[in-house]
Amino acid sequence: MLYVMCIFMLGLVLGLVVVASNPSPYFGALGLVVVSGMGCGILMGHGAPFLSLVLFLIYLGGMLVVFAYSAALAAEPYPETLGSRGVLVNAGAYLGLLLLGGGLFWSDWFGGLWFTLDEGFEFSVTRGDMGGVALMYSQGGGMLVLSGGVLLLTLFVVLEVCRGSSRGALRVV
């Protein structure tokens, strides 16, 4: 389990570097999806699979709205890819800063927090997040429906803003 969590952490950091170093919204959105997947994998490894599933679905719904908006406004014919020179220079600089920061704080590192929630209890009957699932459906159901409605309304607003005067992405911003 430790190796899987290390892979999730590495994927999270590399996804953040892709988001920070890429000026094109297409590949930036791809990096954000990778970051959300890796973050939810970390949550799942620490004993909250239902919370990670809900966060992943809500985050991907929000990312769909942001990606539709940014792709409609930034219709560039030749976007910079992850292999272009400027993006590689930025990514190398960010990775160098991450290694420098990791080297500075290496002595304060405490690796004892790597065990998951379910490893602490040997004969546990329930998972660690089952109480949260029951509370979300009993007392938080209205807020869940309200959040879904707000995301749907935001999607319609963004599509209407992007439509403009019936020209779509070909209009001048």
Q: Domain for residue 149, yes or no?
A: yes
Q: Domain for residue 27, yes or no?
A: yes
Q: Domain for residue 79, yes or no?
A: no
Neighbours of 67 (CB within 10 A): 19
For residue 11, what pLDDT is reported?
A: 92
Question: Model pTM?
Answer: 0.65
Q: Domain for residue 83, yes or no?
A: no
Q: Domain for residue 110, yes or no?
A: no
For residue 95, what pLDDT is reported?
A: 92
Q: What is the domain extent for residue 23?
A: 1-73+128-167
Q: Domain for residue 123, yes or no?
A: no
**Residue (of 160, 159, 171) closest to 67 by Cα position:** 159
Q: Domain for residue 86, yes or no?
A: no
For residue 115, what pLDDT is reported?
A: 60
45: its two tokens:
């490894």
For residue 165, what pLDDT is reported?
A: 58
Question: Residue-wise pLDDT tens for the chain (173 aa)?
Answer: 778 888 998 999 998 898 888 777 777 777 888 888 899 898 888 777 878 888 888 877 777 777 777 677 666 777 777 788 888 899 899 999 999 988 887 776 666 556 655 565 566 666 656 666 677 777 877 888 888 888 888 878 777 776 655 555 555 55
For residue 38, what pLDDT is reported?
A: 92
Rounded Cα distance, 129 and 140, in Å = 15
For residue 100, what pLDDT is reported?
A: 92
Q: Domain for residue 115, yes or no?
A: no
For residue 8, what pLDDT is reported?
A: 92
Task: Show the DSSP H helices in the chain as ranges.
Answer: 2-21, 25-45, 49-73, 85-104, 130-138, 141-163
Cα of first residue to Cα of last residue in the chain, in angstroms, is 49
Specify the number of domains making up the chain.
1
